[in-house]
């Protein structure tokens, strides 16, 4: 077992920058290569949130980089501080099998996020911290309150309820609260979950007859953070359970943090008693960012990726994209990949190419590619997951919505749509369409959700919303959509 040659690590970083530039973060440079023995390279990551993130999302690309740098099959294992002894040597012996499975990436590190429990699908992103959050007139109050909540959980504002439109930074702020709280209060127990995950776990617990487990999971915490609480709309039994969860925590002085796309009183069919509970702490709105804030966000996001973006480019993009921030990020992605492709520095011409192209899409009929991109951005699922065989609800629903939209907006046959959605047959597409029709009919929240996606797709302003924002299609993923997979027979 020996320290890896520093040249190997440098070569890995440059491989990552070259081949996975959009995944690269400036803090990758803080990772400390520990030892390279046989087929495993161990990388020490001192920040827990970064460690978890790397284990979940980056093992494969680091494995690739290690292989490129060494010219042999090397698996990467990310380890935390708990995995090294006082002498700085790793405690746990390398398990051969892990090295053979570089794409698993979970490793055997004994240290977990500890105090922070999250639902599987709700990974805390190291990108979503207070440091990277840009403060502007539209979010100043929400930000200040979030900082206060993290400093004094249960004492500053309880509950703390933030609301605002899609892509305005609610999830970012919630995760920043989790990360700062964890850092400031040793041993504090935080549970961060989406409302949908709360609901699913509740239903599962009822069916399995393990409500005690469920209750102890959600009630024995110091801070409960629930994202997208508007999804409680119409869910009578879940509302009832959440009401009791809320009371149990609130009465014992525990902090509750919630986000929603609407203020409490405007969440459709939310019980009055929940509305009044949600209103009894601080309700803060997040509004669209102004020009200066948008410019600063572009700069901050670019810095996070070690990207050099000249002022004129930041100004140009901020002037053209004035809706949600996810779109700004999409533009940065696109500019970055164009620069990578052309192997040139980022300049105004590239920005015009990237953003100009976006605008030309507005007004034209949606294509399958646009549908996939909008779905992927809206539900925050990866394109590869949409096209994969995975059937978990968090993927299956967006995929079904995508098929339904493809049927409505394109001229493709059921077979062709199935082909574009990862080689599914026409009966699956038919089933998806029926499911979505049914859900829209039975569920106001889903109906609203799909209407919103259609607005994004067709660039129509919703009736009653503020006048034309000039929003073009959300283009967050500069990915080439694979050709449809033909179905046999
Ligand atoms: P929401 O949950 O409101 O739909 P997100 O929190 O997912 O929105 O934000 C969408 C993207 O915009 C994220 O990448 C987030 O980091 C970024 N973002 C939003 N607001 C800000 C801000 N004030 N500063 C920096 N990034 C922001
Ligand atoms: Mg969100």
Which pLDDT tens digit goes with each residue over 342-361?
888 899 988 988 887 544 34
The alpha carbon of residue 60 and the mean position of all alpha carbons in its chain are separated, in whole angstroms, by: 19
Instruction: Give domain status of residue 175, yes or no.
Output: yes
* Closest among 425, 408, 395 to 485, alpha carbons compared: 425
Among residues 334, 364, 394, the one where a domain terminates is 364
Q: What is the mean pLDDT of residues 432-459?
A: 87
What's the gap in Å between 123 CA and the centre of ligand 1? 15
Do residues 203 and 264 both lie within one domain?
A: yes
CATH number at residue 460: 1.10.1750.10
pLDDT category of residue 161 using cuts at 50, 70 and 90:
very high
Question: Is the separation of the CB atoms in 137 and 286 below 8 Å?
Answer: no
Do residues 150 and 246 both lie within one domain?
A: yes
Residue 328, ligand 1, Cβ within 6 A: no
Full residue range of the structural domain in which residue 427 is found: 368-472
Residue 175, ligand 1, Cβ within 6 A: no
- Name which of 4-18, 102-116, 199-213 the model is least confident about: 102-116
* Closest among 125, 111, 132 to 56, alpha carbons compared: 125
Ligand 1 pocket test, pick from 125, 135, 167, 292 with the greatest ligand atom count within 8 Å of Cβ, gives 167
Residue 325, ligand 1, Cβ within 6 A: yes
Ligand lying closest to the C-alpha of residue 164: 1
CB neighbours of 334 closer than 8 A, spacing ≥ 6?
354, 355, 357, 358, 475, 478
Question: Is the separation of the CB atoms in 383 and 368 below 8 Å?
Answer: no
Do residues 145 and 239 both lie within one domain?
A: yes
Residue 159, ligand 1, Cβ within 6 A: no
Do residues 272 and 384 both lie within one domain?
A: no
Percent of the chain with pLDDT over 70: 84
Instruction: Give domain status of residue 485, yes or no.
Output: no
Q: What average pLDDT does the chain have?
A: 82
Do residues 279 and 262 both lie within one domain?
A: yes
CATH number at residue 44: 3.30.300.180
Q: Where are the beta strands (DSSP E) in 228-341?
A: 255-260, 282-286
Residue 157, ligand 1, Cβ within 6 A: no
Instruction: Give domain status of residue 486, yes or no.
Output: no
Instruction: Give domain status of residue 102, yes or no.
Output: no
Determine how many CB atoms are found less than 10 A away from the CB of residue 363.
Answer: 10
What's the gap in Å between 167 CA and the centre of ligand 1? 5
- Name which of 125-134, 250-259, 365-374 the model is least confident about: 365-374
For the full predicted model, state whether its pTM sits above 0.75: no
The answer to whether residue 151 scores a pLDDT higher than 80 is yes
Domains in the chain, number: 4
Instruction: Give domain status of residue 481, yes or no.
Output: no
Do residues 327 and 440 both lie within one domain?
A: no
Q: How many whole angstroms separate alpha carbon 86 and alpha carbon 124? A: 29
Which pLDDT tens digit goes with each residue over 220-240?
999 999 999 999 988 889 999
Q: What is the mean pLDDT of residues 450-478?
A: 50
CB neighbours of 23 closer than 8 A, spacing ≥ 6?
16, 57, 58, 61
Do residues 220 and 304 both lie within one domain?
A: no
């Amino acid at each position: 077992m020996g320290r890896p040659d520093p040249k190997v690590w440098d070569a890995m970083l440059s491989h990552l920058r070259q081949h996975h530039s959009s995944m690269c973060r400036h803090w990758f440079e803080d990772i400390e290569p520990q030892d390279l023995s046989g087929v495993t390279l161990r990388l020490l990551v001192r920040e827990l949130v970064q460690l978890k993130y790397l284990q979940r999302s980056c093992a494969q690309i680091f494995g690739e980089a290690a292989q490129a740098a060494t010219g042999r099959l090397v698996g990467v294992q990310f380890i935390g501080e708990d995995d090294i002894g006082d002498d700085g040597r790793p405690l746990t012996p390398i398990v051969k099998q892990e090295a053979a499975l570089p794409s698993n990436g979970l490793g055997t590190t004994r240290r977990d996020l500890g105090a922070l429990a999250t639902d599987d699908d709700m990974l805390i992103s190291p990108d979503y911290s207070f440091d990277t959050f840009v403060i502007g007139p539209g979010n100043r109050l929400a930000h200040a309150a979030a900082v206060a909540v993290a400093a004094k959980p249960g004492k500053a504002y309880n509950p703390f309820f933030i609301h605002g439109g899609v892509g305005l930074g609610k999830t970012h702020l919630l995760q920043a609260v989790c990360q700062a709280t964890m850092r400031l209060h040793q041993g504090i127990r935080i549970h961060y979950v989406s409302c949908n995950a709360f609901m699913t776990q509740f239903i599962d617990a009822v069916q399995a007859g393990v409500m005690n487990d469920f209750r102890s999971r959600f009630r024995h915490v110091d801070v409960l953070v629930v994202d997208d609480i508007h999804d409680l709309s119409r869910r009578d039994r879940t509302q009832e359970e959440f009401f009791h969860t809320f009371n149990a925590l609130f009465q014992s002085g525990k902090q509750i943090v919630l986000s929603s796309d609407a203020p409490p009183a405007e969440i459709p069919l939310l019980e009055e008693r929940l509305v009044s509970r949600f209103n009894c702490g601080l309700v803060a709105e997040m509004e669209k960012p102004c020009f200066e804030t948008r410019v600063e966000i572009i700069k901050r996001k670019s810095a996070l990726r070690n990207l050099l973006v000249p002022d004129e480019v930041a100004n140009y993009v901020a002037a053209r994209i004035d809706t949600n921030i996810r779109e700004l990020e999409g533009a940065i992605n696109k500019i970055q990949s164009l620069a990578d492709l052309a192997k040139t520095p980022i300049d105004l011409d590239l920005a015009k190419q990237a953003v100009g192209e976006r605008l030309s899409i507005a007004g034209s009929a949606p294509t399958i590619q646009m549908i996939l991109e909008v779905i992927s951005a809206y539900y925050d699922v990866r394109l590869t997951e949409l096209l994969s065989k995975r059937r978990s609800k968090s993927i299956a629903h967006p995929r079904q919505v995508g098929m339904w939209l493809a049927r409505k907006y394109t001229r493709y046959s059921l077979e062709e749509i199935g082909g574009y959605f990862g080689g599914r047959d026409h009966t699956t597409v038919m089933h998806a369409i029926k499911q979505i029709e049914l859900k829209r009919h039975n569920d106001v929240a889903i109906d609203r959700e799909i209407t919103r996606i259609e607005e994004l797709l067709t660039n129509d302003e919703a009736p009653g919303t503020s006048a034309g924002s000039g929003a073009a299609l959300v283009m967050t993923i500069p990915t080439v959509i694979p050709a449809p997979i033909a179905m046999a027979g």
